[in-house]
Amino acid sequence: MTERRCIGCWQLKNRDELIKITADNSDGELKINPDTLTFGRSVYLCYNKTCIEKAFKKNKMEKHLKAPVPNELKGQVLDELRNS
Ligand SMILES: [Zn+2]
């Protein structure tokens, strides 16, 4: 099962069509598209601005990750979108 659900639009998509954000179990840092050795609670987002905006509203991201989300994370995710 490689389909994951975007927390912005709630659609199921293939893993490689989504941005993955993981709260790393080892250091608690949030990592965007981490390597396969990073484990922790994760969320997925489509590569589009609408989904990213939605995910960062109302602490949605924090609720899913059960971790504090730094302000700069949104900018980093948007960079990821631009560079994709
Ligand atoms: Zn989406």
| Predicted pLDDT at 2 | 81
Distance 17 CA to ligand 1 centre (A): 10
| Predicted pLDDT at 1 | 59
What is the Cα–Cα distance from 30 to 11, expressed in whole angstroms? 23
Taking the model in full, what pTM does it have? 0.92
| Predicted pLDDT at 84 | 85
- What residues does the ion ligand 1 have nearby, CB within 5 Å? 6, 8-9, 46, 51
Q: Which two tokens stand for residue 64?
A: 């899913």
Distance 26 CA to ligand 1 centre (A): 28
Distance 3 CA to ligand 1 centre (A): 13
4-14 pLDDT, tens digit per residue, is: 999 999 999 99
Q: Is the dihedral of CA 76, 81, 83, 84 positive or negative?
A: positive
User: Does the domain at residues 3-82 carry the CATH identifier 3.30.1230.10?
Assistant: yes
| Predicted pLDDT at 24 | 96
Amino acid at 75: G
Distance 46 CA to ligand 1 centre (A): 4
| Predicted pLDDT at 49 | 97
Q: Which two tokens stand for residue 44?
A: 């997925």
Whether residue 31 contacts residue 38, with contact meaning beta carbons closer than 8 Å, is answered with yes
| Extents of the domains making up the chain | 3-82
pLDDT beneath 50, residues of the chain: none
Q: Which two tokens stand for residue 5?
A: 């659900």
